[in-house]
Amino acid sequence: MAIATRIRRRIRVPTLTGTGTREVRFAIALLLPAALVVFGVVIYPVGRTLVLSLFGVDSAMPGHYPFVGLRNYAKAFTDPAFYPVLWHTVYFTFVSTALELTLGIGVAMVLNAPLKARWLWRSIVVLPWALPTIVDGALWRWIYNGQYGALNGLLSTLHISHTDHQWLGSPFLALNMVIVADVWKNTSIVAFFVLAGLQTIPHELYEAARMDGAGPVRSFLRVTLPLLRPSIAVVLILRTIEAFKVFDIIYVMTGGGPASGTQTVAFYTYQQAFSNQLFGYGSALAYLIALAVFALAMVYLRILRQGAMAGVR
């Protein structure tokens, strides 16, 4: 008992009275502005959007609108215009993410090599990603211009084609041209994620693989690629999310045209909510996008986790 009494005397138990209470109040006062901003910018809009998705809101004016439950969600799957938009989104997401990952790994391998002025090359590679997406979209729209665009000028200079191609004139071609612009911008950030993973791989593993007779390709497949799985997982999730909800570059380059050929789910949601003022339907579409992105992220994580377990075995 005497020992316990001495310990209690030596240890001061913090209380919520006096100085402790003032410190807690001061901490709350410091956190309150940030909490209000998070509530106003994130929590309230998310909750408000969920409420709107359950009502037939068809005007920006306040009023009493009928409760429709899940009818707005069901409308998305019965709307004949929704499925072409969904196909454009899936195609854009798959092709752009695959190209960015492939090119990003290649660029990261080059930047990880012992180059002269490596810092300069890394600075140049990051420039496309540093550009705002609006600027990137406007830049590529001028490059693709059929009359004075740089792409037609380059093809003419190289004597490949002297025709003024309308790169954004047909639906499927325009969608692929937008993908090229997106890949040009985002490959650099993929490369830097992968580069960070490459720099954590010990050189001893490559030396051991070389002693076992493994060449560059086999070393990449047996050493580099398995150890890059965490970096690849992060890149896949981030780029899939960003590609699936792409909006700004399409808004700037094509406006969803021609003939709705470059409309994605996010752009279609914008049109329904703000152009057609179907705010209830647009809110339901926004939540469907969030659910689809969450499902894709879970699939990626599951596949990569199974691959990691198989590698351990």
Q: Which domains does the chain have, with CATH numbers?
A: 81-312 (1.10.3720.10)
DSSP 223: I
Contact assessment for residue 272 and residue 194, using Cβ atoms and an 8 Å cutoff = no
Instruction: Report the predicted TM-score, pTM, of the whole model to 2 decimal places.
Output: 0.81
**Residue range 108-154, pLDDT digits in tens:** 998 888 878 777 888 888 888 888 889 999 999 999 998 888 999 99
Q: Is the pLDDT of residue 56 over 70?
A: yes
Specify burial of residue 150 (Cβ count, 10 A radius: 0-12, 13-18, 19+). middle
55, β-bridge pairs: 67
Statement: residue 71 has pLDDT above 60: yes
